[in-house]
Amino acid sequence: MLGVVSGRNVIALGLVAAALAFGGVACGSDDDEGTAGGGDTTTEQTTTAEDTTTGDDGSSAATLEGETGPGFEIEVRQEGADVETLSAGTYTISVEDKSEMHNFHLIGPGVDEEVTDVPFVGEKSVEVTLQAGTYTYQCDPHAAQGMMGTFTVS
Ligand SMILES: [Cu+2]
Protein backbone atom coordinates (compact mmCIF):
# COMPACT_ATOMS: atom_id res chain seq x y z
CA MET A 1 0.00 0.00 0.00
CA LEU A 2 1.24 3.27 -0.95
CA GLY A 3 0.51 5.84 1.47
CA VAL A 4 -0.62 8.99 -0.15
CA VAL A 5 1.05 11.82 1.36
CA SER A 6 -0.98 14.77 0.74
CA GLY A 7 1.34 17.64 0.88
CA ARG A 8 -0.04 20.78 2.01
CA ASN A 9 1.44 23.90 0.76
CA VAL A 10 0.85 26.54 3.22
CA ILE A 11 1.14 29.74 1.53
CA ALA A 12 2.26 32.24 3.96
CA LEU A 13 0.87 35.50 3.10
CA GLY A 14 3.22 38.15 3.97
CA LEU A 15 1.33 41.02 5.16
CA VAL A 16 2.91 44.16 4.21
CA ALA A 17 2.12 46.57 6.83
CA ALA A 18 1.02 49.72 5.34
CA ALA A 19 3.33 52.39 6.28
CA LEU A 20 1.45 55.23 7.65
CA ALA A 21 2.79 58.52 6.87
CA PHE A 22 2.68 60.62 9.92
CA GLY A 23 2.34 64.23 9.29
CA GLY A 24 5.00 65.63 11.54
CA VAL A 25 3.51 68.25 13.75
CA ALA A 26 6.03 71.06 13.83
CA CYS A 27 6.28 72.71 17.17
CA GLY A 28 5.71 76.24 16.13
CA SER A 29 7.66 78.32 18.58
CA ASP A 30 8.45 81.90 17.91
CA ASP A 31 12.17 81.91 17.60
CA ASP A 32 12.28 85.42 16.34
CA GLU A 33 11.81 87.42 19.46
CA GLY A 34 12.20 90.97 18.44
CA THR A 35 14.27 92.82 20.99
CA ALA A 36 11.82 95.52 21.78
CA GLY A 37 12.64 98.96 22.90
CA GLY A 38 16.37 99.41 22.77
CA GLY A 39 17.50 101.97 25.27
CA ASP A 40 17.97 105.24 23.57
CA THR A 41 19.72 106.75 26.50
CA THR A 42 22.43 108.87 25.11
CA THR A 43 24.63 109.54 28.05
CA GLU A 44 26.63 112.60 27.52
CA GLN A 45 30.04 112.54 29.02
CA THR A 46 31.59 115.88 29.43
CA THR A 47 35.05 115.68 30.74
CA THR A 48 36.00 118.99 32.10
CA ALA A 49 39.59 119.38 32.95
CA GLU A 50 39.99 120.25 36.56
CA ASP A 51 42.31 123.16 36.75
CA THR A 52 43.17 122.94 40.36
CA THR A 53 46.41 124.74 40.06
CA THR A 54 47.86 124.75 43.48
CA GLY A 55 49.44 128.11 43.27
CA ASP A 56 52.16 129.01 45.68
CA ASP A 57 50.53 132.30 46.42
CA GLY A 58 47.48 130.53 47.79
CA SER A 59 45.17 132.34 45.44
CA SER A 60 44.02 129.21 43.65
CA ALA A 61 40.37 128.35 43.68
CA ALA A 62 39.49 125.71 46.21
CA THR A 63 37.58 122.75 44.91
CA LEU A 64 34.19 121.60 46.06
CA GLU A 65 32.82 118.22 45.07
CA GLY A 66 29.14 118.04 44.33
CA GLU A 67 27.24 114.86 43.85
CA THR A 68 23.67 114.21 42.83
CA GLY A 69 22.05 110.81 42.48
CA PRO A 70 21.86 108.01 41.73
CA GLY A 71 19.31 107.85 44.52
CA PHE A 72 17.52 110.81 46.00
CA GLU A 73 20.67 112.26 47.49
CA ILE A 74 22.61 115.40 46.88
CA GLU A 75 25.83 116.41 48.56
CA VAL A 76 28.55 119.00 48.59
CA ARG A 77 31.88 117.98 50.04
CA GLN A 78 35.30 119.48 50.40
CA GLU A 79 38.13 117.01 50.69
CA GLY A 80 35.62 114.32 51.50
CA ALA A 81 33.86 116.15 54.31
CA ASP A 82 30.33 117.50 54.10
CA VAL A 83 30.41 121.23 53.62
CA GLU A 84 28.57 123.26 56.22
CA THR A 85 30.55 126.48 56.35
CA LEU A 86 32.92 128.09 53.89
CA SER A 87 34.94 131.25 53.61
CA ALA A 88 33.90 133.71 50.96
CA GLY A 89 35.87 133.40 47.78
CA THR A 90 36.10 131.70 44.43
CA TYR A 91 35.57 127.98 44.24
CA THR A 92 35.57 125.40 41.52
CA ILE A 93 32.63 123.15 42.07
CA SER A 94 32.90 119.84 40.31
CA VAL A 95 29.61 118.02 40.15
CA GLU A 96 29.17 114.35 39.51
CA ASP A 97 25.66 113.77 38.24
CA LYS A 98 24.87 110.09 38.52
CA SER A 99 21.33 110.05 37.27
CA GLU A 100 19.32 111.28 34.33
CA MET A 101 16.47 112.10 36.67
CA HIS A 102 18.29 114.58 38.90
CA ASN A 103 20.09 117.85 38.44
CA PHE A 104 22.39 120.00 40.53
CA HIS A 105 21.40 123.59 41.14
CA LEU A 106 23.28 126.00 43.40
CA ILE A 107 21.44 129.09 44.55
CA GLY A 108 22.63 131.86 46.84
CA PRO A 109 23.97 135.40 46.96
CA GLY A 110 25.26 136.21 43.47
CA VAL A 111 24.90 132.63 42.29
CA ASP A 112 22.11 130.87 40.44
CA GLU A 113 23.93 128.07 38.72
CA GLU A 114 22.39 124.92 37.34
CA VAL A 115 25.62 122.98 37.04
CA THR A 116 23.99 119.89 35.55
CA ASP A 117 20.52 119.63 34.12
CA VAL A 118 18.12 116.76 34.65
CA PRO A 119 18.93 114.48 31.68
CA PHE A 120 22.66 115.04 32.02
CA VAL A 121 24.80 112.25 33.43
CA GLY A 122 28.47 112.79 33.97
CA GLU A 123 30.77 115.35 35.47
CA LYS A 124 30.82 119.11 35.06
CA SER A 125 32.81 121.83 36.73
CA VAL A 126 32.01 125.48 37.11
CA GLU A 127 33.67 128.29 38.96
CA VAL A 128 31.55 130.18 41.44
CA THR A 129 32.22 133.16 43.63
CA LEU A 130 30.66 132.74 47.01
CA GLN A 131 29.75 135.66 49.20
CA ALA A 132 28.60 135.85 52.76
CA GLY A 133 25.21 134.25 53.16
CA THR A 134 23.43 130.95 52.86
CA TYR A 135 23.62 128.84 49.75
CA THR A 136 21.24 126.10 48.80
CA TYR A 137 22.12 123.23 46.55
CA GLN A 138 19.27 121.17 45.31
CA CYS A 139 17.80 118.91 42.71
CA ASP A 140 15.00 121.05 41.33
CA PRO A 141 12.42 118.32 40.67
CA HIS A 142 12.96 116.75 44.09
CA ALA A 143 13.87 119.61 46.38
CA ALA A 144 10.46 119.43 47.98
CA GLN A 145 11.15 115.80 48.82
CA GLY A 146 14.26 116.82 50.69
CA MET A 147 16.81 116.48 47.91
CA MET A 148 18.58 119.62 48.98
CA GLY A 149 21.08 121.01 51.41
CA THR A 150 22.60 124.26 52.53
CA PHE A 151 25.92 125.70 53.61
CA THR A 152 26.84 129.05 55.05
CA VAL A 153 29.50 131.36 53.72
CA SER A 154 31.09 133.96 55.91
CU1 LIG B 1 16.10 114.72 41.72
Q: What is the pLDDT of residues 114-144, one digit of tens each?
A: 999 999 999 999 999 999 999 999 999 999 9
The answer to whether the beta carbons of residues 78 and 62 sit under 8 Å apart is yes
CA of 41 to the centre of ligand 1 (A): 18
C-alpha 68 – ligand 1 centre gap (Å): 8
Domains, the chain: 62-153 (2.60.40.420)
Distance 72 CA to ligand 1 centre (A): 6
Ligand 1 centroid–CA 101 distance in Å is: 6
pLDDT digits (tens, 9 = 90+) for 53-91: 444 444 466 999 999 999 999 999 999 999 999 999 999
Rg (CA), the chain: 40
Q: How far is the CA of 108 from the centre of ligand 1 (A)?
A: 19
Tens of pLDDT, residues 138-147? 999 999 999 9
Distance CA 136, CA 91 (A): 15
